[in-house]
Amino acid sequence: MNILFSILAILGVVLVFNFIIFVHELGHFWAAKWRGMQVDRFQIWFGKPIWKKTIDGVQWGLGTIPLGGFVSLPEMAPMEAIEGEKLAPKESGKKITPLDKIIVAAAGPLFSFLLAFAAACIVWKVGRAEFPVTSTEIGYVQADSPAEKAGLKAGDTIVEIAGQRPATFDGKFDAVTTMIALSAGELIEIKVERPGVEGLVTVNCGYEIPETSWYERKAMRRIGIAPKQDVFIGSVIENSPAAKAGLQQGDQITKVNGQPATSFLSVQDMTKESAEAVLYTILREGETREVSITPVFPRLPKDYDRKLIGINFAIDNGAELFYSHPNPFDQMTEAGTFMWKSLQAVANRKTSLDVQHFSGPIGIGKQMYDLLTIKDGWRELIWFLVIFNVNLAIFNLLPFPVLDGGHIVLSIAEWVRGRPAPLKILEVIQTAFVAVLFSLFLFISSKDLGDNFGKVFGGKPKSTAPQKIEF
């Protein structure tokens, strides 16, 4: 990837990110103008402005801290801890009611929902890429894993996880892997259909959480299973046993030593543990052939700990992508449901999910950048905008000080009491929550850096696999 493309992709991420912020704050701005409230400033990013211009009594600016944005509204709750000192007050001549404040506070999330809906309409038209895999059949069970100990087997089809029916195995919010990751309690109830067994088989499965470095996010729950999948060769390493045996890119491995190849992981296991030649059944252009190959340790790196035949597997397993066209309401519901379930999982101390698993601007920007670098990534970026804007709206509606939901709660309390809360108390509460929010932001950002740029902390890369293998 050339440097110019990388620079353009980064600039694209920055522009998209700030456009999202602009639209959210524009909702507050227009609502405030409609309700006759005083508007001091409209600023993207926090801190002292590096650029500003006053138009019709409103100071428009760009801050020095590349995080978020705000519309300064003196008649709302005190926000100096984030927005800085208010400008010289102006008399609007209108009495501001709690209803006015509620409308203005709700307008930001409303505009985020509207932007999500607009993006969802585009996705509806152009489509989003998906693999045509809806099976929940297990193709691989890791040795000595929680799944094996619980009695799950390759060939089982997962019907329910903790009372919920999964739609697919991976890659979606209602997938097997996601449900396991968000599960609660020490045991996960899993119901499966098993060949040759009448009715459903119920197992209570434990889980494991892989170790991570101190600078990375805590890993999510897993039980040691993988989906059933066709196994295709993505590439063949030069001078390897596979190359000498004539294996080619695009070949499908259907059997290993007569056993069905239901996952590339099972093929790896049967290869690395073999002390003698392995018989691979290969399907190429409709013709089946058998090839005997003896796995060996590679010449380089010298300390490699398992035998190989010298192939890399196709990550898409030979499946052809197709473009689904879900309607906008289904997309909004899907994104909102996942956000809500994630918040519930964080609040439930019986799950393994906590706030560190959310992404901050760095992590979100990295995801957007990655989408721009893949084929047809622009389609996935638009779908990502649906998810992100729905999440942004829901997050801002949480009833905490500083957030829009907090302003709504304060305005409702003012409506009920007939007078606003004491200014000094509000200032203390707002400032304290700003400190909490900023600390949380720093913590999440450190995890974003750790996950995506682990070497910054002097640690090892997340993958310990060698960069190059030679035979």
Please say whether the beta carbons of 340 and 425 come within 8 A.
no
d(Cα 463, Cα 452) in Å, to the nearest integer?
A: 12
What is the 8-class DSSP label of residue 374?
S
d(Cα 441, Cα 431) in Å, to the nearest integer?
A: 15
Compute CA 285 distance to the chain's CA centroid, rounded to the nearest angstrom: 37
CA dihedral 255, 258, 264, 265 (to 10 degrees): 170
d(Cα 300, Cα 467) in Å, to the nearest integer?
A: 10
Rg of the chain (C-alpha set): 27
Q: Taking phi first (over 0 means left), then psi (-120 to 50 degrees means alpha), and beta for anything else, what does residue 57 get?
A: left
- Here the tokens at position 422 are 């004491």
Cβ-Cβ contacts under 8 Å for 325 (sequence gap 6 or more): 123, 124, 125, 127
Q: Taking phi first (over 0 means left), then psi (-120 to 50 degrees means alpha), and beta for anything else, what does residue 168 get?
A: beta
Instruction: Reply yes or no: is the peptide bond before residue 301 cis, omega within 30 of 0.
Output: yes
d(Cα 392, Cα 378) in Å, to the nearest integer?
A: 20
Catalytic residue among 25, 83, 216, 334: 25
Q: Is 25 a catalytic residue?
A: yes
The CA-CA-CA angle for residues 271, 273, 275, to 5°, reads 95
- Here the tokens at position 341 are 């379930």
d(Cα 159, Cα 169) in Å, to the nearest integer?
A: 11
- For 72, the enclosing helix (H) or strand (E) is strand 65-72
What CA–CA distances, in Å, run from 50 to 45, 64, 292, 321?
10, 6, 68, 46
Please say whether the beta carbons of 311 and 236 come within 8 A.
yes
Please say whether the beta carbons of 142 and 225 come within 8 A.
yes
- Here the tokens at position 348 are 């439930």
CB-CB neighbours of 34 under 10 Å = 12
List active site positions: 25
